Amino acid sequence: MDTQTWIYLVVGLTFALYLGIAIWARAGSTQEFYVAGGGVNPVANGMATAADWMSAASFISMAGLIAFLGYNASPYLMGWTGGYVLLALLLAPYLRKFGKFTVPEFIGDRFYSKTARMVAVLCLIVASITYVIGQMKGVGVAFGRFLEVEFETGVMIGMAIVFFYAVLGGMKGITYTQIAQYCVLIFAYTVPAIFISFQLTGVPFPQIGLGANMADGTALLDKLDQVVTDLGFASFTDPEHNTLNIFLLTMSLMIGTAGLPHVIIRFFTVRKVSDARISAGWALVFIAILYTTAPAVGGMARLNLMNTIQTGPIGSPEGNLEYENRPEWFRNWETTGLLAFEDKNGDGRIQYYNDANPEFAAEAASYGWAGNEMVTVDRDIMVLANPEIATLPGWVIALVAAGGLAAALSTAAGLLLAISSAISHDLLKGMFTPKINEKQELMAGRIAMAGAVLLAGYMGMNPPGFAAQVVALAFGLAASSIFPVLMMGIFSKRVNKAGAIAGMLTGLLSTVIYIFVFKGWFFVPGTNWFPNTAEYWLLGIQPESFGAVGALLNFAVAFGVSRVTQAPPAHIQELVESVRIPRGAGMPTGH
Amino acid sequence: MNHAPESGAAAYWKENVRLLMTLLVVWFVVSYGAGILLVDLLNQIPLGGYKLGFFFAQQGSIYVFVALIFIYVRKMNQLDRKYDVHEE
């Protein structure tokens, strides 16, 4: 069977599975729609959380980042896993004990304020919508490359699938689909990695293979460092000396992870508090399988790529691959424009080196090289082309296609649920039309979900030009506004309504403004006040890393304001005490 | 009896916070300490084919994170029983 047939088969089967689950897991009540009925097994919820969490960015982009940034991509690895420690220890069990449907609902009750709840809804909706656009775009890209359909058609097929199981099944449908999607995506990610690790080092575990020796006895990482530095690139394992930004970026991603509402609400679906704790552990186990594999995928793909092009000694005329003899995968990716070659010195061979490195310029010139000829090497192809680079069979390539789609769809569904529950439960039931009955609320939830799917699809097809920037915004918002206020709501009895609102607004505005002054207001190019370069950054802090600073300001302002205003009423202090004790956690309710 | 006495609840919370702090110190040391602040120093030490600082940044800290959550779960379940606040 050829690769294309395999792709249709595997993607078609996984989609049939998701639709089957959707029909089986229909939601009959708001409890099922918002929290999947509240009795999800903690291991199953861990798996669903992992799929919910790992997006198209984790699946497709992260290994590519590592391939080209090496050590300097570490904040993504540590940040997007270390956040689960914070979530498990500081938030999940207590929010589960609180026992309601949404994150803004906790903020509204704990700070006895509808305003606080509104601000939380605003943060949630902005963070989730920006995030979901990226997922829809990922669906379109994956379809475009693998199923040879138009980008828009791809997005529409993706929308139709999500629409079906999210609108019909709510959290219940999403939970069981995410479990299936996790299995698809983790299998798709690890199988090529195992093959490649085995090819290069003889060790089937990529995590160990990355630290193992190659057939010639040198360590793989030493070899990789040498291959890249010999061509003027930065060493793979050495840190770039920008410790402050690496530190703050890791911190922002960690607390942002812990504060993302679509992840937090997954812990409302388990039966009791102790289940919420262990479920976070399982979630991290399932996430860690992919995250510890990613450095191996990145490093090994980089080595394979370099060796494919630099086939012999550097500087010898025969040392570089002849363009005419380039492999099949090279041709495939050239047609997508994600890989491009330009024969600058007209020798018919490919020179791939760092022509921006002044120390290497003289050496390159002495070989008759006239600039780097791999003019485009898109980072995202490292995972997608990896099986082809390593000449793995067609069914593995098909798996990767299905895995990328599973990662994007599962995250999109989780985000859409967070958005629709904020609209139907926090805005309608909690604010504007408190008199609606359960049936009406369920219908409102479905309509909100349908609206959110359509909006996400539309934005995915017409990205507002800032799709690449939005991740920083989503994490910045979650880190600076949502996480601190949740944590203070549990760990302090003294922080009151005024403190929480002032803190949230300070964190939110400081972070958003800091991002906008360097990246343009609402990311409109040219509207930035300062160039986005280190000389202009406050204390040298890049906008992506500012979420942690925003969080710090949030804590400081909230405590300060609370100190000079009245303590929360007695019943709120009792609420905090009850949240801290596991016993008595009922099923989540809407009342 | 549905609720532990007031002093019990306070003591439970105090022990809980102490456990959290201990675990978060480890959380900080393996990631921000070994993976970022001390990376150059630790990179002098090899671990198989890995440099130790690089290993902590891209592998080791993640394994420790997983272990921390499971230790927390175990300790909290013990604590819940000790103060009689566990669920049925």
Q: What is the pLDDT of residues B30-47, one digit of tens each?
A: 999 999 999 999 999 999
What is the structure's pLDDT at A396? Answer: 87
Contact, A253 vs A234, CB < 8 A? no
| Encoded tokens for A91 | 């938030």
CA distance A254 to chain B (A): 11
Confidence check: pLDDT of A389 > 70? yes
What are the pLDDT digits (tens) for A238-263? 988 789 999 999 999 999 999 999 99
Query: Of the candidates A95, A31, A74, A449, which has an alpha carbon nearest to the alpha carbon of residue A258?
Result: A95
What is the structure's pLDDT at A465? Answer: 52
What are the pLDDT digits (tens) for B46-62? 998 999 999 999 999 99
Between A462 and A478, the higher pLDDT residue: A478
What are the pLDDT digits (tens) for A260-302? 999 999 999 999 999 999 999 999 999 999 999 999 999 999 9
Task: Mutation target for A interface from B1, B51, B73, B81: give the one with most A CBs within 10 A.
Answer: B73
What is the structure's pLDDT at A259? Answer: 92
Q: A 17-56 residues with CB below 8 A of B?
A: none
3-state helix/strand/coil string of B16-52 = HHHHHHHHHHHHHHHHHHHHHHCHHHHCCCEECCEEH
* A-B C-beta contacts closer than 8 Å: 143
What is the structure's pLDDT at B59? Answer: 96
When pLDDT is cut at 50, 70 and 90, the band that residue A62 belongs to is confident
What letter represents residue A179's amino acid? I
A302 close to B (CB below 8 A): no
β-strands A339-341, B46-47 pairing: unpaired
Give the nearest partner residue to A84 out of B3, B23, B65, using CB atoms: B65
When pLDDT is cut at 50, 70 and 90, the band that residue A28 belongs to is confident
β-strands A339-341, A374-377 pairing: antiparallel
Confidence check: pLDDT of B19 > 80? yes
A322: helix, strand or coil? strand
Q: Please tell me which residue of chain B has the smallest CA distance to A222.
A: B49
B68 close to A (CB below 8 A): yes
Give me the residue spans of the domains in chain A. 3-302+389-468
**Which residues in A73-83 are b (16+ Cβ under 10 Å) and which e?**
bbbbbbbbbbb
What is the structure's pLDDT at A469? Answer: 61
Q: Dihedral sign, CA of A258, A260, A261, A263?
A: negative
Between A525 and A97, the higher pLDDT residue: A97
Q: Do A222 and B87 touch (CB under 8 A)?
A: no
Which span out of A359-373, A473-487, B59-73 was modeled with the highest average pLDDT?
B59-73
What is the structure's pLDDT at B2? Answer: 47
Averaged pLDDT of chain A: 89
What is the structure's pLDDT at A590? Answer: 66
In chain B, residues with a C-beta closer than 8 Å to the C-beta of A211 are 47-50, 55, 59
Using a 10 angstrom Cβ sphere, with 0-12 exposed, 13-18 middle and 19 or more buried, the burial of residue A223 is: buried
Rounded Cα gap, residues A205 and B62, in angstroms = 16
Tokens 């609420």 — which residue? Answer: A575
When pLDDT is cut at 50, 70 and 90, the band that residue A227 belongs to is very high
Q: Please tell me which residue of chain B has the smallest CA distance to A236.
A: B54
A332 close to B (CB below 8 A): no
When pLDDT is cut at 50, 70 and 90, the band that residue A464 belongs to is low
Mean pLDDT of A151-172: 85
Mean pLDDT of A470-483: 84
Confidence check: pLDDT of B3 > 70? no
DSSP state of A267: G
Name A410's Cβ contacts closer than 8 Å, sequence gap at least 6.
A51, A52, A54, A177, A178, A181, A182, A185
What is the structure's pLDDT at B1? Answer: 42
What is the structure's pLDDT at B6? Answer: 54
CA distances for A344 relative to A324, A350, A370, A488, angstroms: 15, 9, 6, 59
CATH class of A3-302+389-468: mainly alpha
Q: Do A580 and B9 touch (CB under 8 A)?
A: yes
Instruction: Give chain A's radius of gyration (CA, Å).
Output: 25
CA distance B67 to chain A (A): 8
Rounded Cα gap, residues A230 and A310, in angstroms = 11
Which span out of A124-138, A165-179, B4-18 was modeled with the highest average pLDDT?
A165-179
Contact, A252 vs A475, CB < 8 A? yes
Q: Please tell me which residue of chain A has the smallest CA distance to B28.
A: A82
A202 φ, ψ (degrees, to nearest 5) = 80, 0
What is the structure's pLDDT at A463? Answer: 64
Q: Do B62 and A292 touch (CB under 8 A)?
A: yes
Q: Do A213 and B69 touch (CB under 8 A)?
A: no
Query: Of the candidates A200, A196, A189, A213, which has an alpha carbon nearest to the alpha carbon of residue A288?
Result: A189
Which span out of A360-369, A466-475, A534-543 was modeled with the highest average pLDDT?
A360-369
Between B46 and A168, the higher pLDDT residue: B46
What is the structure's pLDDT at A137? Answer: 77
CA distance A341 to chain B (A): 32
Rounded Cα gap, residues A61 and A65, in angstroms = 6
What are the pLDDT digits (tens) for A553-590? 999 999 999 999 999 999 999 999 999 999 887 777 76
What is the structure's pLDDT at A149? Answer: 77
Q: Do A581 and B12 touch (CB under 8 A)?
A: yes
| Encoded tokens for A219 | 């360590």
What letter represents residue A384's amino acid? L
Query: Of the candidates A234, A223, A235, which has an alpha carbon nearest to the alpha carbon of residue A300?
Result: A223
A339: helix, strand or coil? strand
A322 beta partners: A349
Q: B 8-67 residues with CB below 8 A of A?
A: 9, 12-13, 16-17, 20, 23-24, 27, 31-32, 35-37, 39-40, 43, 47-51, 53-55, 57-59, 61-63, 65-66
Task: Mutation target for B interface from A85, A94, A248: give the one with most B CBs within 10 A.
Answer: A85
Query: Of the candidates A465, A461, A421, which has an alpha carbon nearest to the alpha carbon of residue A444?
Result: A421
- Dihedral, A223, A224, A227, A229 alpha carbons, nearest 10: -110
When pLDDT is cut at 50, 70 and 90, the band that residue B4 belongs to is very low
Q: Do B66 and A82 touch (CB under 8 A)?
A: no
Which span out of A36-45, A140-149, A275-284, A312-321 was modeled with the highest average pLDDT?
A275-284
What are the pLDDT digits (tens) for A407-430? 888 998 899 999 999 998 888 888
